[in-house]
Amino acid sequence: MAQPAFTTLEPAYQLHVYLCFKTWRLRPHFADQVVRDLLQEVAYDVCGRGEFHLLEAQASPDHFRLLLSLKPEQAVSRVVKALKGNLSRTLGQRFTATEPWLGRGYFARSSGKADLETVQSYVASQVAHHGYRGEWTEALQFVNPGFRSPAFQLPHSVAILNYHFVFATQNRAAIFDDAVAANLFHYIVAVGAKHTFEVERISVLPDHVHLIVEALPSLSVSEIALALMNNTAHWMGTRYWGVLKQTNAWDVWQPSYYAGTVGDYTTADVKRFLELGGE
C-alpha cells in the first residue's frame, strides 16, 4: 500500500536562537546611544512583521546581539536576511557613513530549556526509562560515529543549530523493534545527508523515536520534520509492509511532532549574558 505524503503537521515546539552581528571591521559604529536605540527599534519592528519573537537584544559599540523565538516554518537564514537588510537600510537612511554599518556574515547558536549535554543524556536514557532491559536494547540506540560539530562550514558565518525531535507512531502502535531499528538508523542518516542536516544520535522505542540533529540555517524545522516523516514512512511501507499491516499503522507517524532547540548554553544562560551587557 502506498504511503500518504504528509504536507502539514501540528508541532509542539520551543525554538530559540542567539544571533550576533558585528560592525564593519569591528568599528565602534554602535557607540552612540541613539544608534543603539534605533537598532532595538528596527529589530522589534522586523520581528513583529515577520511574526517571530524578540526575547532579548543588546548592543555594544561593535556588536548587536539578539535572542529570538521562532516558529517551525521559519529558517534562521531568512530571519537573518530580514534583520540585517532592514538594519543596514535604516541606518544608512538615518545617518551619513563612509563605510558599511554591518560586517559580513553572522554567528547563530541554538539554545533551549536544557543544555545539549542534558538532552543527549535524556535521549540516551529513554530506552531504560521505558522499562526495556537486556543486551537486545543496545540495538535501539545509535550515536553517529562520523558526526562532528560544527557539521557545516559557511562562508563568513558560523551557525551551530541543534534540534531535538520526537516523532510518535500512528495511534502509538508498537511498530519498531531491534531488527527494524538497526536499518532505520542508517536510513535516517542518509535522509539527513540528502536534506542538509546531520544526525547526532537516535533512540528508538516501539511507538516513538527521539533524534538530535544539526542543520544548516537555510533549513527550517518543519522542512526537517517533513523530510524525516515522509521518507521513513515510504521506507517502512516498502521494507516492512507486514509490520504496518499487523499494526494497522499505514501512515507510520502521527501528523504531529515535538521539536526543541538545544545548545551548549540554555536560553536562561543566554538571557543573563545579554542582560549583563554581553560580557
Q: Mean pLDDT across the stretch 242-253? A: 96
Q: Which of the 8 DSSP states describes residue 3?
A: P
The CATH number of 116-262, from 3.40.50.720, 3.40.50.300, 3.30.70.1290, 3.30.70.20, is: 3.30.70.1290
Cis preceding linkage at 150, omega within 30: yes
The string of pLDDT tens digits covering residues 222-242 is: 999 999 999 999 999 999 999
Q: Where do the DSSP E strands lie in 61-140?
A: 63-70, 107-111
H-assigned helices in 111-220: 116-129, 178-194
At residue 5, does pLDDT exceed 90?
no
The string of pLDDT tens digits covering residues 110-155 is: 999 999 999 999 999 999 999 988 888 999 999 999 999 999 999 9
197 and 137 in contact (C-beta within 8 Å)?
no
9 and 256 in contact (C-beta within 8 Å)?
yes
The pLDDT value given to residue 79: 98
DSSP three-state, residue 119: helix
Q: Same fold for the domain at 14-110+267-275 and the one at 116-262? A: yes
Distance CA 201, CA 144 (A): 6
Domain 14-110+267-275 class, CATH top level: alpha beta
Cell numbers 515510504 correspond to 234
Distance CA 192, CA 196 (A): 6
**Do the strands 10-22 and 256-262 form a parallel or antiparallel pair, or are they unpaired?**
parallel
Q: Mean pLDDT across the stretch 212-219? A: 98
Enumerate residues 6+ apart whose C-beta is below 8 A from 43.
54, 57, 64, 66, 83, 87
User: Can you give the residue ranges of every domain in the chain?
Assistant: 14-110+267-275, 116-262
> Which band of pLDDT confidence, cut at 50, 70 and 90, is reported for residue 277?
confident
Residue 108 sits at φ, ψ, to 5 deg, of -135, 135
**Cα Dmax for the chain:** 71
Beta bridge partners of 35: none
